Amino acid sequence: MRVSAGPLTSYEIVYDIASVTAHHDCPDIPFSIRRNFLKTFDNPPPGALIERYLGYLDDKPVGYLELNFPQLDNLDIVELDLLVLPEHRRHGVGRALYDLAVERAEVHHRKHLQASTVDRHPDGTAFAESVGAKQGLVDLRSRLDVTALDESLLAGLRAEADKRSTGYTLRSWVGVPPDDLIDGVAYLEGRMNADAPTGDLVLEPEKMDAERIRQGDLTRERRGRRNYQTGALIGDRLAAWTSVVAELDQPAHAWQSTTIVDPEHRGHRLGLLVKLENLSLVRREKPALEAIDTFNAAANAFMLKVNRAMGFRMVDSWIDWQKDL
């Protein structure tokens, strides 16, 4: 068998590889519909330079490599997404794509490759270890079954959060944050890599500003996704913020994304408060919603406790790997 790697020739091929791989590795996670998936190629996240390649086995495309070179911060890393169709693994396609990733990283003067694998299949871990990557962080994926929520439990949690958060007010919105809040969102989002556990990964705080936040939400919309957000304010200052992102053509599923509280305002149950309020917003906006997934570092005991109190339950674990070049 002849193995090779080369430039991307067809977006449609990528969808075929990515959807089959996703259904094999994580069958319970709804995969993006083709139309929205294809929109991602013309709508990259702000501040990202992305390169894409295919891996071939006897001239048949069976693998896909996506390299994200951050342009605004974290200039020493490249984020790697390497996929090989399950029936064609262990034939050298992954290694050919990995070698190409190393070559491209060196061209861009990057020092670290970063990628993730899921624990329910041994393939990813075996491959990462074979190229000398080291475990940087363990993430847990948890799911909230929206169809089986304990409404009395949620009401009790809300009453507790309201009691502890006297003096704070709540604001919710969909899409780009309002002009009077967008700077506060940028400040909090920019704190994530500093406040949340990052393990042994080489990561620096992202350089966020209002324009980057605005373009991020506009890009999501162009990709068929929507961002549902809630903040807690003290006066006119944003003290806590959370967001849930959902594909518009996936009415039953959503992703809990960032939740963060300004260090000066911790201890008032603001994280729980904004998550509960935002859950109500998402349920109103997406009445057919059945499940919300989220990732948390295994070391993030506080946020895991909040999520479990709301009803999230662990589904699987993921490893964030790093290969130093």
The string of pLDDT tens digits covering residues 291-325 is: 999 999 999 999 999 999 999 999 999 999 999 99
Domain annotation covers residue 277: yes
Looking at the structure, do residues 39 and 84 belong to the same domain, yes or no? yes
Looking at the structure, do residues 95 and 150 belong to the same domain, yes or no? no
State both tokens at 136: 């940087």
Domain annotation covers residue 292: yes
Average pLDDT, the chain: 97
Query: DSSP character for 66?
Result: E
Position 1 scores a pLDDT of 84
**pTM score, whole prediction:** 0.96
Looking at the structure, do residues 170 and 66 belong to the same domain, yes or no? no
Domain end (from 110, 132, 154): 132
Q: Mean pLDDT throughout 262-285?
A: 97
Q: Mean pLDDT throughout 47-70?
A: 97
CA distance 277 to 268: 15
pLDDT at 147 over 90: yes
Domain end (from 132, 152, 180): 132
Q: Mean pLDDT throughout 266-294?
A: 98
Domain annotation covers residue 123: yes
Looking at the structure, do residues 145 and 292 belong to the same domain, yes or no? yes
Looking at the structure, do residues 126 and 17 belong to the same domain, yes or no? yes
- Owner of token pair 């500093």: 194
Looking at the structure, do residues 42 and 114 belong to the same domain, yes or no? yes
* 3 state SS of 242: strand
CA distance 54 to 96: 10
Q: Mean pLDDT throughout 153-176?
A: 98
Q: Mean pLDDT throughout 118-133?
A: 95
Looking at the structure, do residues 61 and 172 belong to the same domain, yes or no? no
pLDDT at 121 over 90: no
Q: Residue 115 belongs to a domain with what CATH number?
A: 3.40.630.30
Closest CA to 171 of 242, 84, 247: 242
Dihedral sign, Cα of residue 212, residue 214, residue 219, residue 220: positive
Alpha-helix residue ranges (DSSP H) falling in 232-295: 270-285
Domain annotation covers residue 208: yes
CA distance 95 to 101: 10
Structural domain of residue 114, as residue ranges? 3-132
pLDDT at 96 over 90: yes
User: C-alpha angle 323/32/282, rounded to 5°?
Assistant: 105
Looking at the structure, do residues 106 and 180 belong to the same domain, yes or no? no
Position 53 scores a pLDDT of 98
Domains held by the chain: number: 2
Domain end (from 111, 132, 153): 132
Looking at the structure, do residues 201 and 225 belong to the same domain, yes or no? yes
Looking at the structure, do residues 101 and 156 belong to the same domain, yes or no? no
Q: Which amino acid is at 78?
A: V
Looking at the structure, do residues 52 and 197 belong to the same domain, yes or no? no
Q: Which amino acid is at 127?
A: F
Looking at the structure, do residues 21 and 170 belong to the same domain, yes or no? no
